[in-house]
Amino acid sequence: MTITAALVLYAVTWFMTFFIVLPLRLRTQGEAGEIVPGTPSGAPHQENISRKAWITTAIATVIWAVLAGIIISGAISVRDLDFRNIMPPATEG
């Protein structure tokens, strides 16, 4: 795995994890009973973006390490995911 591939894998993992973490423990303005004029009732009551970003970073780093380890070790390759046998046979060398 190249450095660029590792960075792209981390970025994708981070954003996917962020979109999962973002709605966790969300309290809307409608639930809090304090709707700010001009905002929808489904808007967050309190922003915790930096805390959620740190949580995302911790979780994404662990997930990335596992994925990078699998890719580097070769335990699972692209050929293992070729269920329809579309890829040509691997050449030795």
**Residue-level pLDDT at 93:** 54
Cα of first residue to Cα of last residue in the chain, in angstroms, is: 18
State the chain's mean pLDDT as an integer: 91
Query: Region 46-53: what's the mean pLDDT?
Result: 90
Is pLDDT larger for residue 36 or for residue 64? 64
**Residue-level pLDDT at 66:** 97
**Residue-level pLDDT at 91:** 79
Please state the φ and ψ torsions of residue 44, each to the nearest 5 degrees. Answer: -60, 140
Query: Region 32-46: what's the mean pLDDT?
Result: 88
**Residue-level pLDDT at 46:** 86
